[in-house]
Chain A
Amino acid sequence: MVTINELTDEEYLLKGNSACAGCGATMAIRWVLKILGKDTVLVMPAGCVSVFQGMFPASAFSVPVVDSSFGAQSSFSAGLVAAYKIKGKRLKVVTLAGDGGTADIGFHAVSAAAERGDDVLYVCYDNEAYMNTGVQRSSLTPYGAKTGTDPQGKIEWKKNLPLIMAAHNVTYVATASVGYPFDLMRKVKKAASLSGFRYIHILTPCPPGWGCSENLTAELGRLAVRCGIFPLFEVENGKLILHKVGSRAPVKKYLELQRRFEGLTEEQIQYIQKRVDEDLRFLELLEKVTSEVNRTG
């Protein structure tokens, strides 16, 4: 557990960066770095963070940062980790990328790093589209959401990337949401205590991209979990632990607060509700099944 008393006053994501008002990604990264502390090297590809960190010679971070090419972040990190290993240096290498950089253009390299078990903490901040280029769909954009490239709303279901990462049999996989900061920080702390490939997938609402009020970032982060559209779970040693939600909110409540879902028909909303219920059921069964299988390390 992480409590507010344990949190350092040190800021590793600095004030004055050029993130949008209400940016969920800044919240997530600030907390992640507060837990990891100083001996951290960030590797990140093109994305919102690489933009809001500022232009040369400014920096929004008080840890070293390498800006990699778009999609090659995992491979840059692999090289860094190998260099530190052969030189006997103990530094935490954190790969930080958005949903597009992780699930789409960088996926082959992310998958390879996971399969090799690179000693890296991979943090994916999922704002569910290519936000930095002005909102275009990624494979993690949810069904029904309108983007610049899906003006009628996306017709495909969101790819379940955390489960795909878990299927690589990596050390640790967790989903987290900026709606639950202490849960997020607990998971980062846990991941930091382990070695090998660790993957944390964080839902980071994006007011301009989602078409919601800037003061709703945390609220949407909570609602996404409470309605089941973004379930929180952890996978360790092959066992999936699903975080139970007390009273589930209907997905409609979550969708209504965002202009990207404007114009969805009742039928479509019912379809989303049904798919979300099925996905949750699938996770519940997975939790049961994985609890019964003991993996050899």
Chain B
Amino acid sequence: MAEHIEVLTGNAAAAYGVKLSRAQVIAAYPITPQTTLVERIAEFIAKGELKAEYIKVESEHSALAACIGASLGGARAFTATSSQGLLLMHEMLFWAGYGRTPLVMAVVTRAIAPPWNMWSEHTDALAQRDTGWIQFFCHNSQEVLDTIIQAYRIAEDKRVRLPVMVCFDGFEISHTAENVLVPEQSDVDSFLPPYDNELLDIEKPKLLWNGVYPEDAYKFKAIFSEAAQSSPSVIDEVQREFDSRFGRRYGAIEVYGSSEARVFLIAMGSVASTAKAAVEKLNEEGFRIGLIRIRLFRPFPTAELQKAVEGSEALVILDRSLSFTRGILSTEVASALYNARWRPKIFEYIVGLGGAVVSHRAVVETVKHLLPRVAEEPQGVIWLKSGG
């Protein structure tokens, strides 16, 4: 495999992923912490390293609308945003999702105002969970690059035809430089064929997305749901093929740490990276602790999660999101396990909102404090005093 190592931030890795995927139309609006990502793409285009049209739009709403238009015109399109920008896209997210335009978008997760805050949390991306997009959460630069390439294969697969969000934490991942294996263009080309699906045919004119009566509306939603339901097997297939070509295996979830874990931490994104360090430390000290990193949030990997938690006593969810009183990841995990044969206790923690530091020491202390009490009933959602 002719690949080379570069030191890349998460944002730069995403830009490389976009370049290697040969995206043809980029429409984006700057927002911290996404900016260096789209600037890098603009630089690729300016240097002639990426042949693409870059539409400098006036808002995120337009960024996504332009990507939808580009996709209808048969081009491979990309955008990226964060936080408020993602919220401004909300209407267009449904349009892309239920319109089944196979776009890829990087979401550099960031807290939502008020108060103004530019640091990471997952509420922005998770609040879009009902918009019809596949959602991945990455925990390092390598995964960001690889997932963008995979995302186009999944999105454009005829069995799926759904847009994909590739989410990663603002600053902790977007601005942290790491060694990244950058694949050869020719290898990516053979993994990801060119996109060509022009929907608007002059010879056979069609009217796209006009009004439908209730019975037809219901049918369209059912067709959408079929595609959504077929996506997990396609995602799995794409990940296996990626592994066979590039030697990096990704799954809907990643199970890490002790093979006989009594307790599993559950986390996403950079919180999962921190949790890995905590698990290593706890395993060294002899605690039977593991981590289940949720990589695929939509569709939620229910079957994989049910299987992974079998035999464990408790789950400790480190949730970097908030939906009124609970974390969004926590409610998803609880929902996924409701009909499971094996249902461990769930301890819900809210951590790292607005970029509050989640240290591996705090995670270690939290687990040690909890371990003698896992037989007791969980006492509601816990906010850590330090923020993490």
Contacts and interface: CB of A to CB of B under 8 A. Distances in A.
A127 to B, nearest CB: 19
Interface in B60-99: 61-63, 65-75, 77, 91-92, 95
Contacts of A43: 69
Contact of A55 (B62, B205, B213): B213
A43 B71 CA distance: 14
Contact of B70 (A51, A55, A59, A80): A80
A51 B205 contact: no
Nearest to B26: A82
B208 A79 contact: no
A164 to B, nearest CB: 15
A116 B55 contact: yes
Nearest to B94: A69
A39 interface: yes
Interface string A100-125: 00000000110110001000000000
Interface residues of A, number: 44
A264 interface: no
Chain B CB within 10 A, most for which of A43, A83, A89: A83
A69 B92 contact: yes
A75 B209 contact: no
Chain A CB within 10 A, most for which of B55, B61, B63: B55
B200 A79 contact: no
B291 interface: no
A20 interface: no
Nearest to A41: B200
Contacts of B62: 72, 74-75, 78, 108-109, 112
A83 B65 contact: no
Contacts of A116: 55-56
Nearest to B54: A82
Contacts of A87: 24, 73-75
B205 A59 contact: yes
Contact of B65 (A41, A61, A79, A111): A79
Contacts of B228: none
Contact of B75 (A51, A53, A69, A86): A86
Nearest to A43: B69
A85 B92 CA distance: 23
B53 interface: yes
A103 to B, nearest CB: 16
A80 B205 contact: no
Contact of A66 (B55, B66, B72, B216): B72
Nearest to B216: A56
A261 B91 CA distance: 37
Interface string B85-128: 00000011001000000000000000000000000000000000
Given A66-B208, A75-B62, A79-B69, 20 more contacts: A56-B210, A59-B206, A64-B205, A64-B208, A69-B91, A72-B61, A72-B91, A75-B69, A76-B65, A79-B25, A79-B55, A79-B66, A79-B73, A80-B69, A82-B66, A83-B25, A112-B59, A112-B62, A116-B55, A116-B56
9 contacts: A41-B202, A66-B200, A72-B61, A74-B62, A75-B63, A80-B70, A82-B27, A82-B66, A82-B75
Smallest CB-CB A-B distances: 4 pairs: A79-B69, A83-B73, A75-B65, A83-B75
Interface of B: 24-25, 27, 51-53, 55-59, 61-63, 65-75, 77, 91-92, 95, 200-202, 205-213, 216
Interface of A: 38-39, 41, 43, 50-51, 53-56, 58-59, 61-69, 71-72, 74-87, 89, 91, 108-109, 111-112, 116
